[in-house]
C-alpha cells in the first residue's frame, strides 16, 4: 500500500474528483471535457447561476 499525505503534490485528477464533484453546490450537472476525456462532472448550471449575479447586481 502506498500512503501519501495530501500536503505533498496531489494528483490533479484526485483533486478535481473532489473539487468538481464534491463540495456544497446548488443544482445541475454538466460533464466537461478535460484533455479530450470526460472526467469530471462540473455543476456548470449552479456555477453559472452563482455567477449570473455578476451580470445584474
**Contact set with other proteins (CB under 8 A):** 1-7, 10-25, 32-37, 39, 42-44, 46-48, 50-55, 57
Smallest gap from residue 21 Cβ to other proteins (A): 7
- Smallest gap, in angstroms, from Cβ of residue 38 to other proteins? 8
Give the Cα separation of 42 and 4 in Å (integer): 26
Supply angle C-alpha 3, 5, 15, rounded to 5: 105
Question: Residue 9 CB, nearest distance to other proteins (Å)?
Answer: 9
- φ/ψ of residue 39, rounded to 5: -115, -45
Amino acid at each position: 500500500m502506498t500512503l501519501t499525505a495530501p500536503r505533498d503534490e496531489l494528483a490533479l485528477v484526485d483533486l478535481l474528483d473532489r473539487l468538481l464533484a464534491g463540495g456544497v453546490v446548488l443544482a445541475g450537472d454538466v460533464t466537461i471535457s478535460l484533455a479530450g476525456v470526460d472526467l469530471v462532472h462540473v455543476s456548470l448550471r449552479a456555477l453559472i447561476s452563482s455567477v449570473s449575479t455578476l451580470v445584474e447586481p
